[in-house]
Amino acid sequence: MARAIEIVEVGPRDGLQSEPEVLPTATKLELIGRLVAAGLRRIEVASFVNPKRVPQMADAEAVMAGLPKVPGVQYVGLVLNKKGFDRALAAGCTEMGLVTAATDSFSERNQGATTEELIRTVEEIAPLAREAGVRMQVTVSTAFGCPFEGEVPVSRVVDICRRLAATHPLEIALADTIGVAVPSQVTSLVEQVRAVVGDVAIRCHFHNTRNTAVANAYAAVLAGVNTLDASVGGVGGCPFAPNATGNVGTEDLVYMLARAGYDTGIDLDRLIETAKWLGEQRGKVVPSMVSKAGGFPVGTSRASAG
């Protein structure tokens, strides 16, 4: 039986938040419905942040209220502080993603706080999430490099992850926010972080800024990571990081994993259709490669080798 790899679809949130235009709530909900129909079972759908800073996510509550209720599908909301947590909880969010950053420079520009302050925020929210019965996971952004400080010491990332693991999150995600990582770096960091986080799972989040995202994702899988983030069509980036272009395309990742013998449970043809549809809604072609080239052999939609 093929090894299962879980894909966390981040397009409706991380993908759309960097777009210059604001898509209507109904369009977002149709995108999410199409992703569910393609087999995605864990989807990041909203960001409970200041709408003045991220106007693309101003309709978080409306999106949550309109989500299709499908057994086995988990919807994720991004929260950055206690206020965001309260909003997400009131909106019925059952999984929340928190974020800290590996450098103070990025933390302050992205979230208006130091890394230490962000870790303390996670420490504050974690017990509240447990009490509310909400799944909580944490992303460490700029884990592989920072647009303002350059190389990030591995020891710093490892220490941050050690402290975050003490809050007992569902996962800790290592994020290549600006797309500078290479496979050997991914292998090394995953191994060193795993040594200090105990039984906390590691997830990885890659951007394709320098065309290394698929290779990095494969390196993460070979290092034992079972959950990867991806964005349909490869859309998105980070609005607070210079030149941080799109996330790894979900269809690019699904194609690679299926051909390599892994099971994602995702229908590649339906995913490609969704990517093309999203391009039409945006008024421009999505950047992912497989959405243009199609699967192989032609006409197959294999999601696994099993």
Residue 148 corresponds to which tokens in the numbers above?
């303002």
Which residues, at least 6 apart from 269, have a Cβ–Cβ distance to it below 8 Å?
295, 300, 301
Residue 301 pLDDT exceeds 70: no
- The more confident residue out of 262 and 236 is 262
Residue 79 corresponds to which tokens in the numbers above?
């929260």
> Which of 93, 146, 161, 238 is an active site residue?
238
Residue 218 corresponds to which tokens in the numbers above?
């494969």
161 in catalytic set: no
CA 296 to chain centre: 26
Cβ atoms of 7 and 271 within 8 Å: the answer is no
Q: Scanning the structure block, which residue is given the tokens 């200090």?
A: 196
Smallest Cα–Cα separation from 7: which of 277, 251, 283, 286?
Answer: 251
Q: Over the stretch 108-148, which tens digit does the pLDDT of each residue have?
A: 988 889 999 999 999 999 999 999 999 999 999 999 999 99
Using CA atoms, how far apart are residues 209 and 229, in angstroms rounded to an integer? 15
DSSP class of 14? I
Q: Scanning the structure block, which residue is given the tokens 């070979």?
A: 222
Average pLDDT value over all residues in the chain: 94
pLDDT of residue 40: 98
Please give the model's pTM, rounded to 2 decimal places: 0.95
Q: Over the stretch 95-110, which tens digit does the pLDDT of each residue have?
A: 999 999 999 999 998 8
Label residue 273 by pLDDT band (50, 70, 90).
very high
Which residues, at least 6 apart from 1, have a Cβ–Cβ distance to it below 8 Å?
263, 306
| Percent of the chain clearing pLDDT 90 (strictly above) | 88
Residue 213 corresponds to which tokens in the numbers above?
């995202």
Question: Once rounded to an integer, what is the mean pLDDT over residues 10-37?
Answer: 94
pLDDT of residue 173: 98
- From first CA to last CA, the distance across the chain in angstroms is 6
